[in-house]
């Protein structure tokens, strides 16, 4: 549903290709800044199960981000300003960390989840859209404290959080859960947590994250989440193959779709999503990604299980170290949903600094 950018999963794959990582501007020996701006032209068509279509075309800014990174001896800090679609400015990351020097690093503040093969930040993605078409079960940012321990090629971690997921916006146009912060509530035993295990030897990498939240959405409602992904890089052919599985069980959950302007409350829901992808470097500047993803959702208040299958093709061109252009064509089929299928076509430009 990372996070400088989250170097995990597809983000790790992206840094293996020229021009994919953010550049840094050093303001002093201890302080540097980096960031990006991205905009796109997009077209989508929903075909409804009962007949009829809905077309939507946009030419807009996707996001602007500025990161300030501080490092002095064992102390580090980060402050990020992020503007989705060039509108409101939010602070998705603001934390202080301390490296104890024996493999342990402690962090306190607001930071990104460990979960997810696909990164939060646009430059580290391989396509314009995510593999998960609409469930939104991968967490975003939250507030709390976390500790990681790294040894050899392994990293393990634990986090105590205000929440696993952010608050949900139930007002029009129903943008769903806030992915830029936690819910900020710790009263009456409300809290969240994550456990993490990762491995990375630059050729093969894998990670597993377990998340839990008490008092989610409604009083007494809990949510449990598991994310597992693996990636293999074939140096001889410059090919990156990735696989991801997600599972969530929640006493109360909401499906929200800003494109379709609706939200659907769910009771005692179980959600599964999965994807497999391959990114192939064609030249030093050209690459292409193919991805197949899907998911299913069941809940006590749904008459039938809802599911989707999505196929994506996304070429990309690195023009300079700071400028990349990518495109996407994707097709999604739905079962037992309000619509039968969706076609998406888009072109995106990303400027990194």
Rounded Cα distance, 332 and 138, in Å: 19
Beta bridge partners of 148: 105, 157
Rounded Cα distance, 344 and 236, in Å: 33
Three-class SS of residue 115? coil
| Sign of the CA dihedral with 154 first, then 111, 17, and 210 last | positive
Model confidence over 121-161: pLDDT tens digits?
A: 999 999 999 999 878 889 999 999 999 999 999 999 999 99
What separation in angstroms does the CA of 252 have from each of 180, 265, 271, 300? 21, 7, 12, 10
Give pLDDT, residue 70. 97
Model confidence over 303-332: pLDDT tens digits?
A: 899 999 999 999 999 999 999 999 999 999
CA-closest candidate to residue 65, choices 5, 127, 126: 5
Is residue 48 over pLDDT 50? yes
The CA angle 273-279-284, to the nearest 5 degrees, is 155
* Phi and psi based region of residue 174 (left: phi greater than 0; alpha: psi -120 to 50; beta: remaining): left
Query: What is the phi/psi pair of residue 229, to 5°?
Result: -145, 160
Flag the least confident range among 19-28, 166-175, 187-196: 166-175
Is residue 268 over pLDDT 80? yes
CA-closest candidate to residue 325, choices 313, 314, 317: 317
Q: How many residues does the chain have?
A: 353
More confident residue, 268 or 289: 289
Flag the least confident range among 27-31, 103-107, 292-296: 27-31
The CA angle 38-180-3, to the nearest 5 degrees, is 65
User: Cα dihedral angle (117, 123, 126, 131), rounded to 10 degrees?
Assistant: 50
Predicted structure pTM score: 0.88
Is residue 169 over pLDDT 70? no
Full set of structural domains in the chain with CATH: 10-352 (2.40.160.10)
CA-closest candidate to residue 106, choices 142, 74, 79: 74
Q: Which residues contact 277 (CB under 8 A, 6 or more apart)?
A: 10, 126, 131, 241, 242, 243, 289, 290, 291, 292
Three-class SS of residue 91? coil
Give pLDDT, residue 21. 61
What separation in angstroms does the CA of 124 have from each of 121, 160, 162, 350? 6, 27, 27, 10
Give pLDDT, residue 239. 97
Flag the least confident range among 55-64, 254-263, 311-320: 254-263
Flag the least confident range among 154-168, 180-194, 256-270: 256-270
Give pLDDT, residue 2. 35
More confident residue, 197 or 265: 197
């Amino acid at each position: 549903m990372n996070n400088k950018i989250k170097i995990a999963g597809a983000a790790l794959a992206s840094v293996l290709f020229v021009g994919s990582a953010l550049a840094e501007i050093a303001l002093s020996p201890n302080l540097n800044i980096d960031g990006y701006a991205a905009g796109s032209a997009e077209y989508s068509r929903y075909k409804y199960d009962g007949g009829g279509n809905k077309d939507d075309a946009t030419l807009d800014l996707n996001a602007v981000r500025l990161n300030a990174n501080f490092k002095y001896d064992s102390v580090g800090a980060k402050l990020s300003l992020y503007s989705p679609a060039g509108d409101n400015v939010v602070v998705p990351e603001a934390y202080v960390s301390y490296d104890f020097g024996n493999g342990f690093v402690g962090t306190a503040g607001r930071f990104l989840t460990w979960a997810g093969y696909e990164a939060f930040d646009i430059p580290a993605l391989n396509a314009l859209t995510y593999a998960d078409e609409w469930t939104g079960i991968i967490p975003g940012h939250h507030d709390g404290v976390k500790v990681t321990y790294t040894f050899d090629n392994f990293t393990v971690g634990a986090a105590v959080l205000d929440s696993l997921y952010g608050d949900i916006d139930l007002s029009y146009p129903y943008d769903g859960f806030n992915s830029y912060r936690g819910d900020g509530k710790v009263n009456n035993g409300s809290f969240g947590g994550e456990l993490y295990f990762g491995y990375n030897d630059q050729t093969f990498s894998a990670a597993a994250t377990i998340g839990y939240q008490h008092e989610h959405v409604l009083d007494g409602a809990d949510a449990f989440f598991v994310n597992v992904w693996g990636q293999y890089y074939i140096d001889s052919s410059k090919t990156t193959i990735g696989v991801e599985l997600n599972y969530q069980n929640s006493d109360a959950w909401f499906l929200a779709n800003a494109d379709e302007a609706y939200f659907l409350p769910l009771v005692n829901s179980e959600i599964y999503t999965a994807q497999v992808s391959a990114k192939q470097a064609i030249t030093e500047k050209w690459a292409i990604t193919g991805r197949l993803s899907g998911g299913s959702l069941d809940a006590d208040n749904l008459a039938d299980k809802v599911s989707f299958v999505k196929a994506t093709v996304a070429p990309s061109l690195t023009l300079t170290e700071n400028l990349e252009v990518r495109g996407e064509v994707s097709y999604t089929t739905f079962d037992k949903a309000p619509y039968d299928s969706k076609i998406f076509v888009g072109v995106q430009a990303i400027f990194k600094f």
